[in-house]
Amino acid sequence: MSDSSLRLVWIYPDLLSTYGDQGNALVVERRARQRRLDVTRIDVRSDQPIPTSGDIYLIGGGEDRPQRLAAERLGRDGGLPRAVENGAIVFAVCAGYQILGHEFINDLGQRQPGLGLLDVKTVRGEGERCVGDVLGDIDPRLGLPPLTGFENHQGVTYLGPTARPLARVRLGRGNGSGDGTEGAYSDTVFGTYMHGPVLARNPLIADLLLKLALDVNALPPTDDRWYEALRNERIGAAQQPA
């Protein structure tokens, strides 16, 4: 970290927070404060420059048109790739995830370049939109409990050789490519299709982001009984036959 306060950057709330993904920023802030960590939240609108000195950057999902505008502006701005070069952590959801990859199909039906921060590529799914609850097993290397969330996307994402799947789905579509993968990560850059908001449903992922930002292996424990009750309810509901 550059100073004693952890800098949490929420990217483009005016374009990419359609599905309550702003809750992810609230959860990271809360999990940090529960550990008595000083955290500064910086909301960056799409007409403002992306600061390069952040520790954790969050990006949400969005409809196809705001996604195109956000990708154009992030590409022109260049701050997020510079922050990643400096070791920043990025956690992006759905449209944000697609923007981190090499390219996606925009609302005009054109192939649009992404930031190339993740070795993934998104095409337009030919089948039905992927909508519904998801339950998956997170890559064991990350040491996290099962992933739960809600997906709503038309894009289908394929992983290249340097991206690792974030999870393998037991239920739901995830990346939608038919290989059972969900999301992707590489070093400190993470992408997922999970809304929910995903960090409220999976608070230990928020803790992972904090640990990476602080470069520590563990954080002081928190009372997670409430989270666990919510998680178990969601996992139970997801497993009910429709």
Q: Which stretch binds ligand GLN (CB under 6 A): 58-66, 208-216, 218-226, 232-240?
A: 58-66
Pairing of strands 130-138, 181-182: unpaired
Amino acid, single-letter form, for residue 178: G
Q: Which stretch binds ligand GLN (CB under 6 A): 44-52, 83-91, 148-156, 205-213?
A: 148-156
Pairing of strands 56-59, 6-11: parallel
Site string for ligand GLN, 179-218 (x = CB under 6 A): ----------------------------------------
Q: Which of helix, strand or coil describes residue 98?
A: helix
Write down the catalytic residue from 102, 130, 153, 195: 195
Number of residues that bind ligand GLN (CB under 6 A): 12
Kindly state the smallest distance separating residue 107's Cβ from ligand GLN, in Å.
8
- Find the binder of ligand GLN among 34, 48, 154, 177 (CB under 6 A): 154
Nearer to ligand GLN, 175 or 186 (CB): 175
**130 given a catalytic annotation:** no
State the CB neighbour count (10 A cutoff) for residue 61. Answer: 28
CA of 4: how far to CAs of 74, 82, 210, 212, 214, in Å?
27, 21, 13, 15, 10
Task: Put the strands of the sheet holding 147-153 in their side by side order.
Answer: 147-153, 130-138, 167-171, 181-182
Site string for ligand GLN, 88-107 (x = CB under 6 A): ------xx------------
Touching ligand GLN, residues 11-50 (CB under 6 A) = 19
Are 5 and 38 within 8 A, CB to CB? yes
Do the annotations mark residue 33 as ligand-binding?
A: no
Q: Which of helix, strand or coil describes residue 38?
A: coil
- Maximum pairwise Cα distance, the chain: 50
How far, in Å, CA of 216 to CA of 33, rounded?
A: 16
Are 174 and 167 within 8 A, CB to CB? yes
Q: Is 62 in the site for ligand GLN (CB under 6 A)?
A: yes
Q: Is 153 in the site for ligand GLN (CB under 6 A)?
A: yes
Q: Is 149 in the site for ligand GLN (CB under 6 A)?
A: no
- Find the binder of ligand GLN among 23, 54, 61, 149 (CB under 6 A): 61
Binding region for ligand GLN (CB under 6 A): 19, 61-64, 67, 94-95, 152-155
As annotated, the binding site includes: 129
Q: Which positions are catalytic?
A: 94, 195
As annotated, the binding site for substrate includes: 129
